[in-house]
C-alpha cells in the first residue's frame, strides 16, 4: 500500500488569527483612512508579521525604522501618491494600481522593496494563470510559513485583499476584502464567525497574487533597504508617470486631468432620465475626486518624511508637498460643488447641471496646475540629489 508523504498532506482548513482587518474608512480615530487597497493590505500583512514600519497610532515600530506613517510610505513608494489615470468611456477601474506603470507589477514590487520585504507578484496578464500554482502558493504561504497572501480580486473587483486562510483543502478562501460588505459583492460562502469572508470558486475572480517571501522558504523580511536609493527611484518614476501622456491605452498624469475634465463637459453623458447611467457617471467622478484627495494628502506626508531624511533636497520636496496639499484641498471644493461625498439623488442631479460641471472643470484645472508645479519641484529635488554625502 502506498503512503502519501506527510509534507504533501494538505490540511482541510487553516485560518491565521490576528491579521489586521482592512476596509474602506468607517470613521473613528484608531487609524487614518486607508482607501488604497494594496498599500493598506501590505501594511496590515507586515504588521501581522511583526514588521511595523511606523504609525502614529501604533506606538511600537520595527527597530531601524523612523517613519510616522507606514501607509503613507507605501502609498508613496508604490507610486499611488503621484498617479492619476483616466480611461475613456467612464471606466470604474481607473484607480487600479496595475495601470500606473508600464509594467503592471512594478508598483507592487517597488513597495515590497521599499519595505525591505521579498515577494513574488504573480499576475495572470503576465503569464501566471495556473490555478493549481495559485492554490499551491496560497496553501504553502499560509500552512508552512504562517504568512497572509495578498490577492487582486477574490471578492469584488480586482482590487487588493488579504487571504488569511483556506477551507475545504483550498476550494474556499478566507480573509479580509474592502468589498466584502459592499452590496453586490457578497462572498459566495458568507462570512466566518470571526468576520473573514468565505469565497468559493475564487480563481475565476482573481487577477493576481502577491506572495510574501522569495519562494525558497526564506524569511519574507530582510534588513531595511537603502531609503535614499528608494526615494530617488520613487521621484524618478513619479516624474516619468506625470509626464507620460498614456500608459496601457489610458490617459495618465497631466493628460488624465485633461481627459477627466473633457468627459465632464459632455452634457449628454449625464441623463437625468436614466438613473442608472447618472449614478455610474457620478460614482466614477466621485471616486476620482477621492482618489486625488487621498493620493495627494498621503503623498504630502511621504514627501515631508523624505525631506527629513534628505536635507539636500528638502526645500524642493517641501514645496512639492505643499502643492499636493493644495490639490487635496481643491478636491474638497469639488465635493462641495455637488453638496458632499458619495451618491444620493440630489447630488447626482446637481452634477447633471452644466454649470456645476463647468465649475468642477475649473477646479480640476487648478488642481492640474498644482500637479504640474509639484512635478517641477520633484525634478528640481532630483537635481540636488548629488549633494548627498557619499
Written as nine digits, the cell of 164 is 488569511
C-alpha cell belonging to residue 260: 477627466
DSSP, collapsed to helix, strand or coil, labels residue 214 as coil
Position 159 in a domain: yes
pLDDT at 364 over 90: yes
In a domain, 27, yes or no: yes
182 and 244 co-located in one domain: no
Domain that residue 145 falls in = 6-212
Last residue of a domain, one of 179, 212, 245: 212
Predicted local distance difference test score (pLDDT) of residue 195: 97
Distance, CA of 348 to CA of 362 (rounded, Å): 19
- Three-point CA angle 355, 357, 363, nearest 5°: 110
| Mean per-residue pLDDT, 340-353 | 97
The predicted pLDDT at position 7 comes to 46
Count Cα neighbours of 101 within 13 Å in the Cβ-side half-sphere: 21
Percent over 90 (pLDDT), the chain = 84
Contact indicator for 371, 242 with CB cutoff of 8 Å? yes
Q: How far is Cα 307 from Cα 14, in angstroms, rounded to an integer? A: 43
Structural domain contains residue 292: yes
Q: How far is CA 244 from CA 99, 100, 239, 252, 284, in A?
A: 12, 10, 9, 6, 22
Place of cell 493576481: 208
Q: What is the pLDDT of residues 213-246, one digit of tens each?
A: 987 777 888 888 999 999 999 999 999 999 999 9
Q: What pLDDT was estimated at residue 182?
A: 92
Cell numbers given for 81: 501618491
Claim to verify: residue 287 and residue 358 sit in the same structural domain:
yes
pTM to 2 decimal places: 0.93
Q: What is the pLDDT of residue 60?
A: 64
The pLDDT, as a whole number, for residue 116 is 93
Q: Residues 232, 378: one domain?
A: yes
β-strands 246-247, 149-153: how paired? unpaired
pLDDT category of residue 1 using cuts at 50, 70 and 90: very low
Beta-sheet pairing, 250-252 with 85-86: antiparallel
Q: Tell me the per-residue pLDDT of 109-158, one tens digit each, with 9 for 90 and over.
A: 999 999 999 999 999 999 999 999 999 999 999 999 999 999 999 999 99
| Number of domains observed in the structure of the chain | 2
pLDDT of residue 217: 73
pLDDT band (50, 70, 90) for residue 328:
very high
Q: Do 198 and 296 share a domain, yes or no?
A: no
pLDDT class for 161, splitting at 50, 70, 90? Answer: very high
Dist. CA 37–CA 240, nearest whole Å: 23
Dist CA 296 CA 306 (whole Å): 15
Q: What letters, b where the CB count within 10 A reaches 16 and e where it falls short, cover 350-362?
A: bbbeeebbeebbe
Task: Inform me whether the pLDDT recorded for 5 exceeds 50.
Answer: no
- Per-residue model confidence as pLDDT tens digits over 275-316: 999 999 999 999 999 999 999 999 999 999 999 999 999 999
- Residue 219 counted as domain residue: no
Domain identity same for 66 and 92: yes
Phi, psi for 140 (deg, rounded to 5): -60, -45
Backbone region of residue 281 per phi and psi (left: phi > 0; alpha: psi in -120 to 50; beta: other values): alpha
Domain annotation covers residue 158: yes
When pLDDT is cut at 50, 70 and 90, the band that residue 386 belongs to is confident
pLDDT value for 350: 98
Residue 4 has pLDDT above 50, yes or no: no
What letter does residue 58 receive in the DSSP assignment? B
Domain of 88, CATH number, reads: 3.90.70.10
- Name the residue with higher pLDDT: 9 or 93: 93
Element (H, E) at 317: helix 314-338
DSSP 8-63: GPPPS-EE-S-PPP--S--SSSSS-----HHHHHHHHHHHHTT----BTTB----T
Q: Which pairing describes strands 14-15 and 246-247: parallel, antiparallel, or unpaired?
A: unpaired
Give percent above pLDDT 70 in the chain.
93
- Nearest by Cα to 231 from 130, 137, 310: 310
What lies within 8 Å, CB to CB, of 184 at 6+ separation is none
Statement to judge: residues 207 and 242 lie in one domain: no
Q: Do 199 and 231 share a domain, yes or no? A: no
Q: Which residue in the block uniquely carries the three cell numbers 487553516? A: 14
Same domain, residue pair 182 and 320? no
- Rounded alpha-carbon distances, angstroms, from residue 180 to 73, 290, 293: 26, 20, 24
DSSP label at 209? E
Q: What is the pLDDT of residues 16-40, one digit of tens each?
A: 999 999 998 876 666 778 999 999 9
**Does the pLDDT of residue 390 top 60, yes or no?**
no
> Which pLDDT does position 57 carry in this prediction?
61
CB-count burial class (<10 Å; 0-12, 13-18, 19+) for 67: buried
The whole-angstrom distance between residue 299's C-alpha and the CA centroid of its chain comes to: 13
**Is residue 277 included in any domain, yes or no?**
yes
> Is 115 inside a domain boundary?
yes
Q: Kindly list the distances between the CA atom of residue 380 and the CA atoms of 230, 305, 309, 383, in Å, as whole numbers in the listed order.
A: 17, 17, 17, 5
pLDDT at 192 over 50: yes
**Among the three residues 180, 212, 244, which one is the final residue of a domain in this structure?**
212
Q: What's the confidence (pLDDT) of residue 56?
A: 63
What confidence category does residue 11 fall into, taking pLDDT thresholds of 50, 70 and 90?
confident
Q: 222 in a domain, yes or no? A: no
Q: What pLDDT is stored for residue 53 in this prediction?
A: 82
Query: What integer is the mean pLDDT of 151-166?
Result: 97
The per-residue pLDDT for 30 is 63
Amino acid at each position: 500500500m502506498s503512503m502519501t508523504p506527510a509534507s504533501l498532506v494538505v490540511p482541510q482548513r487553516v485560518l491565521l488569527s490576528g491579521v489586521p482587518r482592512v476596509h474602506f474608512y468607517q470613521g473613528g480615530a484608531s487609524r487614518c483612512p486607508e482607501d488604497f487597497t494594496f498599500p493598506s493590505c501590505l501594511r496590515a500583512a507586515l504588521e501581522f508579521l511583526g514588521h511595523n514600519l511606523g504609525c502614529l497610532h501604533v506606538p511600537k515600530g520595527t527597530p531601524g525604522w523612523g517613519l510616522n506613517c507606514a501607509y503613507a510610505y507605501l502609498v508613496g513608494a508604490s507610486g499611488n501618491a503621484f498617479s492619476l489615470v483616466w480611461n475613456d468611456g467612464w471606466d470604474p477601474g481607473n484607480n487600479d494600481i496595475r495601470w500606473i506603470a508600464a509594467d503592471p507589477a512594478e508598483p507592487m514590487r517597488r513597495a515590497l522593496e521599499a519595505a525591505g520585504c521579498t515577494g513574488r507578484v504573480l499576475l495572470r496578464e503576465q503569464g501566471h494563470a495556473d490555478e493549481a500554482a495559485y492554490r499551491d502558493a496560497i496553501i504553502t504561504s499560509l500552512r508552512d510559513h504562517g504568512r497572509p497572501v495578498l490577492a487582486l480580486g477574490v471578492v469584488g473587483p480586482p482590487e487588493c485583499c488579504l487571504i488569511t486562510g483556506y477551507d475545504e483543502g483550498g476550494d474556499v478562501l478566507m480573509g479580509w476584502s474592502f468589498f466584502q460588505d459592499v452590496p453586490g459583492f457578497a462572498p459566495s460562502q458568507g462570512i466566518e464567525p470571526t468576520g473573514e469572508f468565505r469565497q468559493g470558486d475564487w480563481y475565476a475572480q482573481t487577477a493576481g497574487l502577491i506572495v510574501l517571501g522569495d519562494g525558497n522558504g526564506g524569511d519574507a523580511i530582510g534588513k531595511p533597504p537603502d531609503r535614499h536609493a528608494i526615494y530617488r527611484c520613487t521621484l524618478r518614476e513619479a516624474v516619468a508617470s506625470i509626464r507620460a501622456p498614456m500608459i496601457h491605452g489610458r490617459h495618465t498624469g497631466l493628460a488624465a486631468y485633461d481627459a477627466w475634465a473633457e468627459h465632464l463637459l459632455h452634457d449628454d453623458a449625464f441623463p437625468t432620465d436614466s438613473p442608472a447611467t447618472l449614478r455610474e457617471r457620478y460614482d466614477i467622478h466621485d471616486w476620482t475626486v477621492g482618489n486625488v484627495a487621498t493620493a495627494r494628502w498621503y503623498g504630502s506626508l511621504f514627501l515631508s518624511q523624505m525631506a527629513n531624511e534628505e536635507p539636500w533636497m528638502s526645500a524642493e520636496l517641501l514645496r512639492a508637498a505643499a502643492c499636493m496639499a493644495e490639490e487635496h484641498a481643491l478636491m474638497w471644493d469639488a465635493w462641495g460643488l455637488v453638496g458632499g461625498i458619495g451618491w444620493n439623488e440630489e447630488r447626482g442631479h446637481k452634477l447633471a447641471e452644466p454649470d456645476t460641471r463647468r465649475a468642477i472643470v475649473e477646479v480640476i484645472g487648478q488642481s492640474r496646475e498644482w500637479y504640474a508645479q509639484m512635478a517641477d519641484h520633484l525634478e528640481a529635488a532630483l537635481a540636488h540629489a548629488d549633494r548627498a554625502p557619499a
